[in-house]
Chains A and B, each alone.
Chain A
């Protein structure tokens, strides 16, 4: 019940297009869902996060859509740029416990010019 399943494993998008990455979780106790962006040789950087009491959160070109009944959430990157090329990880965490963040396996995004 701890898993967070992420898809696709890799994604190629043309510059200006929309990148969509999906995640599904099993643990219904999770109430905090962040997305991290990681460049090669660097640590993950927090991109955007959502709690299940809202269905959508937008920050600039990045939007999280959340479907509590389906236990699924997704990251949409609008107007994708070559600089967005990185690995993206979704995560899930239970706020009432210690800070154990469960990560998905990651999606390697390549934005072609």
Chain B
């Protein structure tokens, strides 16, 4: 069974540019969450989407946006890139939107997209 897939693997952009990152969840999973992991730190929650709706948002500026498609895949968009946006962007899929019941909220992470902003 395929796990969570993300594309691209690596990306180099310059300040002010826009970037789109893509994620495909595990088959049967309907929820996708996005995290930012700066080097040497733990992942920070950005968004959660379930059934194509935003269900939760972390403390990130409006330059960050996302959407989920009918096949449950998701895109993360970042506008007006800053140097500080350089990080590993992780996508996690889970069975359900609300983490209710054993295992339903368990999150499985993809390999990430390494974004470097110059």
Contacts and interface: CB of A to CB of B under 8 A. Distances in A.
Nearest to A34: B106
Q: How large is the interface on A (under 10, 10 to 19, 20 to 34, 35 or more residues)?
A: 20 to 34
Q: How large is the interface on B (under 10, 10 to 19, 20 to 34, 35 or more residues)?
A: 20 to 34
A46 B40 CA distance: 19
Interface of B: 4, 31, 33, 35, 40-45, 48, 50, 55-56, 58, 90, 92, 94, 97-102, 105-112, 114
29 contacts: A6-B42, A36-B109, A41-B114, A42-B111, A43-B109, A43-B110, A43-B111, A43-B112, A44-B109, A46-B109, A49-B106, A89-B42, A89-B43, A93-B99, A94-B99, A95-B101, A96-B99, A97-B98, A98-B50, A98-B55, A99-B48, A99-B56, A99-B105, A100-B58, A101-B45, A101-B92, A101-B107, A104-B42, A106-B41
